[in-house]
Structure 1
Amino acid sequence: MSEQGELRAGQLLVATPLLRDPNFVDAVVLLLDADRDGALGVVLNRPSGVPVVSVLEPWSEVASEPEVLFRGGPVSPEGALAVGLLRDADDVPVGFRAVEGRLGLVDLDTPVELLDGSLSDLRVFAGYAGWGAGQLEDEVDEGSWYVVPGEPVDVFRPEVEELRRDVLRRQPGELAWVSTRPVDPELN
C-alpha cells in the first residue's frame, strides 16, 4: 500500500515529474473506482477538439463547458463514459451511480430526459485509465503519482491548462512548492 494511504474513489492522481508515459505526463486523474482488483479513472486535463454534439448529440445540452469530449485515458478510447454532479444529493436519478458525494457516473444509454434537471455538471470522456491489481499502488510507491483529495470543481472547470498546478498549489507543505517546479530544473 502507498505511503499516502489507501486509494479510493474521488481522489486525484497528479503525475509527478518521474512519470514519463506520454499518456500521463502532467496528467490529473480522477479515481472513479479503486479496490483490491485494480483501479479506474479518467484524465481531467486532456480536452479533445471533438464536440459532444457530434458524437452524443442528446448529451450536448447537459455537457459542461467546454462542450467537447475529453481524452479520459488510453483504455477503450472508442468508448465513452460520463461523470456528473448532482444538484441535490437526495435526488438520485435513474442512470446515475454515486462515486463520491454528489459526484458519480452517468449511464449514457439512459434517456437524457430522465436526468434533466438533476445534474449541475456533466463531462464526457473518451476512454479511461485502468490499472490491474496492485499496479497503481506500485506506481504511487515508486513516486509516479501524488495522491490528493479531489473537489468537484476540478472535474468540471472550463479551463484545464492550469489544473495540475492549481491542484498542487492548494496542497499543504511540499506539494504546494512542487506546483512551481519547472519541467526541466536545469533550465531554471
Structure 2
Amino acid sequence: MNQAQTDADLVSASLVGSDAAFSRLVDRHQQALRSFLRRVSGNEADADELAQEVFLAAWTKLKLLRSPDKFRSWLFGMAWSMNKTFRRSAARRRARDEAWQDLQPRTATPQDELRLALNKAMAELGEDQRAVVALCLAGGWTHDEASGALDIPLGTVKSHVSRGRARLEQILGDGHER
C-alpha cells in the first residue's frame, strides 16, 4: 500500500473491502488516539481498551462517514463520544481498580510523579475543557480541527485552551506539589 495515500484514499479503499487500507488508517492514527484518550480519561488501561473499541466501531460504521477527508476528526469525535459513555458506565469498575491500586506499594520515579500530577491536574478541568486541552496543547491539533472533532464552537475551543493552560499552570505551579 502506498505510504503517501491520504486518509480519504484509504477510507475509499476500505469501503470496497480492503482490510489493508483500514489497517493503514489504524497504524496512522492509533498513537494519537490513544494519547488523546489517555489524557481525557486519566486512566491508561481504560484508554487503551477504549481505543480498540473506537477502531472497531469505526470499521463497522465507516460507511456512515460523509466526508472521507475528515476521517481523523470523525474518528476522534467518535472516541470523545464513546469516552463519555464509557466513563459513565465504568464508574464502579474504576472505583474497584483504584482501591486495589491504593493497596499496592509505591515506587514512583520523578517522571511518574510528574505524569501523575499532570493527570490529576487534567482531571480537575471540566470534561470539554480537558478534551480541548488534550487535543490542542498535548496533541498539536489546530483549534479548528478540535472544534470539528468535538463539535464545540471555535470560540469555545479557543477559550478552553486559554483557560485550560492557565488552570494547569495554576494547579501544577512551579514544584508540581498538588
**Which one has the bigger strand percentage?**
1
Q: Which structure ranks higher in relative contact order (CA pairs < 8 Å, sequence separation ≥ 6)?
A: 1
**Which one has the bigger helix percentage?**
2
Which has more radius of gyration? 2
- Give yes or no for TM over 0.5: no
TM-score, normalised relative to structure 2: 0.31
TM-score, normalised relative to structure 1: 0.30
